Structure 1
């Protein structure tokens, strides 16, 4: 359950179209910004596409072909006739550059979420890369149900959240479910490695007669707020604001509203459900049941092992991270935590000195003196470290469905045992636990379960998973 932190980070997210009007599109030399712009060979591959609509307004998109990220909306501005800014707000990245006098190139900087940048030169191209991967489960319009853009407000935090509501074609009242996205700044479709997981889930459930509300995380897409500074408590309030909004809808059975959370969303769901009597059921997909602390260590360990690191090197890095995580969890003051981290790194120098340069590289700790640990001190990551899933789950009183793939390398299947134990400890016996063979963290049928496979797998969500979720929800809401 990892957040987007560190160096320039690319997270695949959703597609929706933004229209821009009153945009000056000509440079001083009279050349148009319209068309396709791609980074030069040998650089980070990215494409920006600018179109003019029939009504005279403009639309811009970006593609990152190597990461199967296509059609991401871009906020385009042009100043002084030749200074262009492409803001990919869904992934919080920006490209700023200057168009050459001949209008054939743009020279500038690509900046990631952390502010770090790299030089990037774009060239005008006639035939940019096109998407070849298939996503057969993505629904095609027109849909056999109602769909509309909606907005609701977390009044406590003054955050306005944007989402998509889908309502079955038949007459209501319907049961409903709110979808909470996983880790990292996600859009309403939870667009990951070219897959729109929540679009597929929402489509399937709505066709089965269940109303679905999915929404952009705060600070993502059309939602306001700051994702990076948000805590689990604030994400919980966002979710509860969604439940309150669903209650106002005329076609909804207000006694049959549930929450579905994937990965980190599966941490937020119990917090929301335990606080609101309006939550009738909870679906947890690859959710934490053990301490996130333990789960994070396993994630990092698996990642280093996948890079070819030896067990000795992994043990050294795991020990360092464990001590750092403890320090951050125990210290509310960032400066005090930073002091402790520096001392931990200083004491680790003798053990690190025994490793080769190659081993240090594979465990991502080439030098203690230059190690960047600011991401660990971030509000979001600190919130993850301090989250206790068992404590949250013990307070849940409604029925729970918890599922995990046995090839999940990001949230291991062992978490299911922790979920069951926590619910039992709280006196909740209304739960169903399912360990699903052959499925990864995204619930795709997988070979190894490694995140490197996500984009290459055509399946977005296993049909069996979709069926289990819908059958279970309909069973709970028919009582």
Structure 2
């Protein structure tokens, strides 16, 4: 890797203070392009667990500055993501873009967004809200609603639980469906707990339910029926979408149909091209079986596309 400046940074979005890390390749005074990395669901930090560090290294090797940050209420950031909406998280991403564009060593017109998983919904919303985004990249971003995506992930998880019968799977998914309906009726957390208790906490539900408290229940209610179609149709910039063919968390085939249909929407601007890359045998983090980092062709494809755009 060429010489790199790495430093902790802070920027604000209204009353929220966001902390992150900025890494900029030293290029002898020549300004470089930049990317803001937005993590996935839950309390994702500036490294998005272990996913962002190898991605950051590759982008820096390609001469691209990288900014990533702790989600609201995580690490050094103030606020609480569980009391936010996806639109709130999108304005955080927009603030990150503005901060990166303000750096003298970065070409302001060449700063785009990269979002992983839930972060894909976030960056699509952020990109659609402004007309100066040069490009956006989504990584394992569902084309379906969170409610549909979580049900798909839960069903796959249940099939992996030892000794789970079809009856057990059916009971757990039925309870999940009732919880989703309760959320649509704005049921409080106590009502949701009663539903779970009355069902006897069926096998495998912990995958979905174990960490849910009152604040998280509120966040899930607000998010569960988010439809990314409007943001996909409203994009005004090129879009690169990555998927892994063996993703057990996201229904890839259904997502591809939604992404493809959005390109054909008559109101979608001509500049909003879509490039889809599905990596064979790769999982939600674009990793091949037994690997701890995405496949090399993933990084190469990303860099080639960014250079074109």
Provide the TM-score with structure 2 as the length reference: 0.88
Provide closer, same or farther for how the CA distance between residues 444 and 399 of structure 1 changes in structure 2, counting only shifts above 3 A: same
Equivalent positions of 1:66-465 (< 5 A) are: 144-155=3-14, 158-170=15-27, 171-191=29-49, 196-308=50-162, 309-331=164-186, 334-335=187-188, 339=191, 342=194, 361-364=202-205, 374=213, 378-414=217-253, 415-425=255-265, 426-428=267-269, 430-446=273-289, 457-465=290-298
Any conservation in 1 of the 2:20–2:70 contact (CA below 8 Å)?
yes
1:468 has 2:301 as partner: yes
C-alpha displacement at 1:340, in angstroms?
7.8
**2-structure distance, mates of 1:284, 1:253:** 22
**1-structure distance, mates of 2:140, 2:177:** 23
Provide closer, same or farther for how the CA distance between residues 280 and 330 of structure 1 changes in structure 2, counting only shifts above 3 A: farther
Provide closer, same or farther for how the CA distance between residues 424 and 251 of structure 1 changes in structure 2, counting only shifts above 3 A: farther
Match of 1:11 in 2: none
Aligned residue pair count: 300
**2-structure distance, mates of 1:233, 1:377:** 16
**2-structure distance, mates of 1:180, 1:372:** 22
The structure that is helix-richer by fraction is 2
3-state secondary structure, aligned to 2:37: strand
Structure number, greater radius of gyration: 1
**1-structure distance, mates of 2:132, 2:8:** 23
Any conservation in 1 of the 2:168–2:202 contact (CA below 8 Å)?
no
**1-structure distance, mates of 2:263, 2:179:** 30
C-alpha displacement at 1:338, in angstroms?
5.4
Residues 104-126 of structure 1 deviation map (CA, whole Å, 9 limit, x = unaligned): xxxxxxxxxxxxxxxxxxxxxxx
C-alpha displacement at 1:327, in angstroms?
2.7
Gaps of 5+ in 2: none
C-alpha displacement at 1:438, in angstroms?
1.1
**1-structure distance, mates of 2:211, 2:71:** 26
Any conservation in 1 of the 2:172–2:202 contact (CA below 8 Å)?
no
The structure that is strand-richer by fraction is 1
Q: Is 226-235 or 263-272 further displaced after alignment?
A: 226-235
Any conservation in 1 of the 2:235–2:268 contact (CA below 8 Å)?
no
Any conservation in 1 of the 2:10–2:20 contact (CA below 8 Å)?
yes
C-alpha displacement at 1:198, in angstroms?
0.9
3-state secondary structure, aligned to 1:459: coil
